[in-house]
Amino acid sequence: MLSYDTIKKVLFKFEPETAHNIAELGLRAVGTCKLIKKPMEKENFICDEKLTQEIFDVKFVNPVGLAAGFDKNATMVKSMPAMGFGFTEIGTMTPRPQDGNAKPRMFRYPEHKSVQNAMGFNNEGAHTVLKNLKKVYPFEIPVGANIGKNKITPEEFALSDYKTLIKKFEGTSDYLVINISSPNTPNLRDLQNEEFITELFTMAKSLTNKPILLKIAPDMEPKQAIELCNCAVNAGAAGIIATNTTIDYSLVPNCQDFGGLSGACLTEKSYSLFKEIAKELFGKTVLISVGGIITGEDAYKRIKAGASLVQVYSGLIFEGPSMVKKINEEILELLEKDGYSHISEAIGADLK
């Protein structure tokens, strides 16, 4: 098989969004071809009892998942174990199909191992995504569904969009994620307020017993983020995912002045906010960390800070499919180095 360095040289000749579409075609093929999928899964998928956890009454064989934004329409779920992932998160889906923002809307910064996207929840809509998901669910690894409101839906009717999506996807996912933290839908982050969060999760809990998590932005002050997360948990949220992309454009010189930055440039900012949130919420709810995680050391820092699970996305663009395997292997090495026999002993170790 071709090395990822060779594949990357070809992909990087294309615009980032075109390269993503090519990668999607490749991964869809992997998912349907056992002759490719099985060897890749044997090579990349780490299955070790030291990493296995039961969360949301679901088995997570390893703690590294794919973050939302990569598999928007649930077309690549079958290939995720071949990439090494212990779980995957599809979306963000909206009730109605939408094209997203004007192109170009994705940019890569190889020297910073970072990307910038202003996609704007481009997806084929809940009806089509649900059809795709029903073909594979239940799946061999847990599947989360990340949901958001349509761009044309006024703020005062946002609750209705989330209600529609929860009812559609609660039966075909292992957990749901409320996305009100993307910077690419106008005024979406305005919904990051206690009144809306309380109303939203109260409504959600009346619709389903499925775990529903809140994903937050990295650009809030820690005090505000903690208050918001506490509000969500008190209203019934089963967990917090921190963080989404950032609009702190000082992190990458000469980047665009729109869209959200992710990748290595976000590592410290995301970790810093996650750590503050975990100080308050660890032990009260499930915490998932995402944002600039590229190495096993990055992941292990989040685990010791309180994360039960971690997610990656942008790093894959630069590191390729072996990245997840390396992260899991490094976590195992670090667990052994610290004298832990299971990942549960390391989770929140810095807080104990």
Catalytic residues: 182
Each as own residue / partner, the long-range contacts of residues 201-207 (CB below 8 Å, 24 or more positions apart, any chain) are 201/232, 201/235, 201/236, 201/237, 202/235, 202/236, 203/159, 203/162, 203/163, 204/162, 204/166, 204/176, 204/178, 204/236, 205/235, 205/236, 207/163, 207/166, 207/167, 207/170
Distance CA 261, CA 263 (A): 7
Distance CA 239, CA 182 (A): 18
The residue among 266, 248, 341 whose CA lies nearest residue 311 is 266
Q: Give the CA count within 13 Å in the CB-facing half-sphere of 327.
A: 33
5-24: burial string, b at 16+ Cβ within 10 Å, e else: eebbeebeeeebbebbeebb
Task: Tell me which H or E stretch contains 36.
Answer: helix 34-44
Any idea what DSSP says for residue 351? G
The CA-CA-CA angle for residues 68, 179, 228, to 5°, reads 130
Any idea what DSSP says for residue 188? G
| Tokens matching residue 8 | 């990357």
The residue type at 337: K
Query: Is there a contact between 196 and 237 (Cβ–Cβ < 8 Å)?
Result: no
Query: Is there a contact between 328 and 62 (Cβ–Cβ < 8 Å)?
Result: yes
Distance CA 240, CA 346 (A): 19
Strand partners, 285: 282
The string of DSSP codes covering 104-142 is: P-EEEEGGGTEEEE---S-BS-HHHHHHHHHTT-S-SS-
The residue type at 291: G
